[in-house]
Amino acid sequence: QPPASVQWHNPHQPLILPGNGQLRLSGDIPDGSVQVSYRQGGEVMTVKNRGHRDLKRLLNEQGLPLFVRGRLPLLYVNGQLLAVANLPGLDCGPCGRWQLHWLPTKSDQGLS
Per-residue pLDDT tens, the chain, 112 aa: give them. Answer: 566 789 999 999 999 998 899 999 999 988 899 999 999 989 999 888 788 899 999 999 999 998 889 899 999 999 999 999 999 888 887 667 899 999 998 765 555 5
pLDDT at 1: 53
pTM, 2 dp:
0.87
SS3 call for 17: coil
pLDDT at 5: 87
CA angle, corner 12, sides to 1 and 109, nearest 5? 40
Distances (CA, A) of 103 to 57, 95, 109: 24, 23, 8
pLDDT at 17: 92
3-state helix, strand, coil in the chain (%, to 5): 15, 35, 50
pLDDT at 110: 53
pLDDT at 77: 93
pLDDT at 94: 67
